[in-house]
Amino acid sequence: MTRNALEQALVRTAHRVLPAGHFGNFAADLVIREGRGGRVWDVSGNEYVDYLLGSGPMFIGHAHPEVTEAVVAQVPKGTTFFANNEHGIRLAEAIVEAVPCAEQVRFVSSGTEADLYAMRVARAFRKRDRILKFEGGYHGMSDWGLMSLAPKRLANFPVAVPDSAGIPRSAREEVLVAPFNDLEAARALIAAHHDELGGVILEPFQRLIPPAPGFLQGIREITAQYGIPLIFDEVVTGFRFAYGGAQSYYGVTPDLCTLGKIIGGGFPLAAVAGRADIMAHFDKGLVGEDGFLMQVGTLSGNPVAAVAGLATLEVLRRPGAYEQAFATGRSLMEGLSALIAKAGLPAQVVGEPPLFDVVFTTEAVRNYRDTLQADAGLQKHFNTQLRAAGILKGESKYYVSLAHTEEDVALTLQAFSGAIAALPKGAR
């Protein structure tokens, strides 16, 4: 892909004024100009089939006309009030109607905030300090969330390994870590530490890895046995796998969940949702001074994000919406799997149709440590070839949208074929 003078100048400016030359998200060598449907264009005019989707929020596509219409109608009426507004209330009502665990909702502006407050409200309810999470699970940028997401050194469970500089050592003692998809090990840890645990948090679909049969059900059973709040982090999977989220898709209902990305329709909005008796800790009038969890956010539930979210959910409620997204994802997964098999490539496609990737290993991938067997160099080479062919994705994930077309699928499969052919000969 060629870069014009403007984009090159913007990249140079970014490196001068931004640490590492970017916002902390995607690569610094690309500056996006616009997006429509399932495609984006950079400042140089290069066009990409977009499987990054803003890291997932644009499930119904960029600049969807109904979302745009709703936002344009709201902006002249005000963009934020630091007070209740009708659209935020209607969005909370829609979430309660859709999500099995949701009896009440508290809005925030990011998935990090949602996960932080979900863990905090569980601790307030349970009156215990420690949180159990699963190695490889991502729960935002808080001190507690950034434990054993991608540890550079492996520790014996349940020892937590900080993923970032600047995290207090004391935070390690407040987090216990279990292996994902190992029900026996998780049960043993929960049983051994049940009287210390304020909550258990997990992604029901961890990054790319589906839950093993019975795993979520088993975690639900043992947390219920000990009265420990179970939190599903559905910032990614909420309204993506089904209208009721992964908890609906997999048929397991937690006590609390976190939501983000899709519910804001491309604007900053996220939420904690769950049982009313736990959510009561956000209400001082119900729980008193000692049980009250203070939570304030300048933009929480702002009307622009709320109308974008409502318009997005309206589209997703229509018959055939999820069938379409799954059919698109299935075509991509099956096509990529067939190309891998034909080339004799040591790789496999992992995930669910709305969210998947290729992992360069033939070994089973059931947890974070299994992913360490994959050839990261081949992954990077493959992704680089796809970028050059006009396919935009993150380091690990294809987000599929309702806006992706049959033409997008055909172009992507063609790019897959070319990227496989361009891999080093020793890889095939």
Give the three-state DSSP class for 227: coil
Tokens describing residue 158: 């349940």
**DSSP β-bridge partners for residue 181:** none
Our answer to whether residue 283 is catalytic in this structure is no
For residue 158, give the nearest of 130, 138, 139 by alpha carbon.
Answer: 130
Peptide bond into 346 cis (omega under 30): no
Catalytic annotation present for 138: yes
Q: Are 232 and 278 in contact (CB under 8 A)?
A: no
- The 3-state DSSP class for residue 184 equals helix
Number of residues in the chain: 428
Q: Which residues pair with 42 in a beta bridge?
A: 32
Q: What is the DSSP letter of 293?
A: -
User: Do you find a cis peptide bond into 158, omega within 30 degrees of 0?
Assistant: yes
Place of tokens 């550079």: 152
- Whole-angstrom CA distances from 121 to 124, 146, 263, 345 are 5, 18, 21, 47
Active-site residue (options: 182, 233, 255, 357): 233
Q: Which of 330, 337, 374, 376 is nearest to 352 (CA)?
A: 330
Pairing of β 355-359 and β 348-352: antiparallel
Q: With CA atoms as reference, report the closest residue to 392 among 39, 5, 33.
A: 39
CA dihedral sign, ordered 172, 176, 181, 184: positive
Q: Which of 133, 261, 393, 397 is catalytic?
A: 261
- Is 397 considered catalytic here? no
Q: Which of 202, 226, 227, 228 is nearest to 215 (CA)?
A: 202
Please state, in angstroms and rounded to a whole number, the distance separating the CA atoms of residues 414 and 353.
Answer: 19
Q: Are 63 and 50 in contact (CB under 8 A)?
A: no
CA distance 330 to 308: 28
Phi, psi of 204 (to 5 degrees): -60, -30
- The Cα–Cα gap between 337 and 397 comes to 15
- The residue from 48, 117, 138, 243 that is catalytic is 138
Q: Active-site residues: which are they?
A: 138, 233, 261
